[in-house]
Amino acid sequence: MVMFFKKLAEAAAISFGSQTKSGSRIRFGAFAAISGGISSYYFLSSPNLVYLDNLNEDATPKVALNPDKWIEFKVQDKVQASHNSQLFRFSFDPNVKLGLDVASCIITRAPNGQNAEGKTKYVIRPYTPISDPDAKGYFDLLIKVYPEGKMSQHFASLKPGDVVEVKGPIEKLRYSPNMKKHIGMIAGGTGITPMLQIIDAILKNPDDHTQVSLLYANVSPDDILLKKKLDVLAASNPNLKVIFYTVDNPTKDWLGGKGYISKDMAVKGLPRPSDDTLILVCGPPGMMNHISGDKAKDRSQGESTTDDRESAVSSLIASKPKWCRDGILRIVRRSLGYQLMQAEA
């Protein structure tokens, strides 16, 4: 298991193990359907109609997550995915799915001291699983460990057998097949994780003809997470049209982009604005401010912090957009026709 999981961390594999089934196309995610019913039968007995119900009380599929209750999930294994990122596998009942829709995230919490009344304080952070939502008995999280990150440091301290409290799911985007002809994605660091959920769903479904273009920004080539995996997907799936990598600190042999996501990168790599296109954005605060601006104090759309507006995607904005929705997913409308969605990794 450890050796297999290490191979996964290198991002060369397309699936996480034999616990899930792959379809006719490369499996890279799925939509967790929550449905079912109770069988009922009617029989005629003399003049009376006898109603027999609840013959199958367990017909409704159960899921591991609960949106209203913190549930403990056990660490099954963890490996180093990059110099500052770790891949975690959490286990639960092997007969049920996690209960994750595309696209949605989970909320995690960890104890962080006590308040003045002696009650436990918690640090809470959202994360997006990168495992197949149809998988039973496990889910995977890709965590970047920050030196001052309270939650990420807590994750780094975990060992197999330890538990993490989880609640969810929290919906970010109600994705449906062919909802747009072309989806553009801008990701930074672990902001790739919600993008993978959408890519998963598209590539798994042979009836989904949505095209995807991805711009992926990182500090250095060594920071690019799951690059081999993304490259294999792009090479074997015509729906994944463009993957463009850019880094702040390129090496001498680096052949990709250099610097922040720019207007030129956006124009060349993203679909043109129309009612049939959608742009998804997820990354660290600095990147979000550079591209779209963070939320203002009143929760409305903020301003981009970049000075050179001709070098940023935000230069495409002719008038200040407004937030249409609060929460994990935030939607703004671009004046040129782009629809932009921000999400947290």
pLDDT in tens, 82-125: 999 999 999 999 999 999 999 899 999 999 999 889 899 999 99
**pLDDT band of 273, cuts 50, 70, 90:** confident
Higher-confidence residue: 257 or 342? 257
**pLDDT band of 58, cuts 50, 70, 90:** low
* Contact by Cβ (8 Å): 189, 144: yes
Q: Which CATH superfamily is domain 63-169 in?
A: Translation factors (2.40.30.10)
State the amino acid at position 226 in one-letter form.
Answer: L
For every residue of 88-127, DSSP letters joined together read: EEEE--TTSB----TTEEEEEEEEEEE-TTSPEEEEEEEE
pLDDT in tens, 201-222: 999 999 999 999 999 999 999 9
Domain boundaries, the chain: 63-169, 182-342
Higher-confidence residue: 191 or 4? 191
Query: Looking at residue 289, what is its pLDDT?
Result: 78
**pLDDT band of 4, cuts 50, 70, 90:** very low
Q: How far apart are CA 33 and CA 93, in angstroms?
A: 17
State the amino acid at position 90 in one-letter form.
Answer: F
**3-class DSSP state for residue 295?**
strand
Q: How far apart are CA 215 and CA 324, in angstroms?
A: 24
Mean pLDDT is lowest, of 63-72, 245-254, 332-341, for 332-341
139-174: b or e for each residue (b if 16 or more CB lie within 10 Å)?
bbbbbbbeeeeebbebbeebeeeeebbbbbbbbbbe
274-287: b or e for each residue (b if 16 or more CB lie within 10 Å)?
eeebbbbbbbbeeb
Phi, psi (deg, nearest 5) at residue 2: -65, -45
Q: Which fold has domain 182-342?
A: Rossmann fold (3.40.50)
| Count of residues making up the chain | 345
Q: Is 148 left (phi over 0), alpha (psi -120 to 50) or beta?
A: alpha
Q: Find out whether the peptide bond into 312 is cis, omega within 30 degrees of 0.
A: no
| Mean pLDDT taken over the chain | 76
- Determine the average pLDDT of the residues in 50-63: 55
- Determine the average pLDDT of the residues in 264-273: 90
Look at the alpha carbons of 134, 140, 143, 149 in this order and tell me if their dihedral is positive or negative. Answer: positive
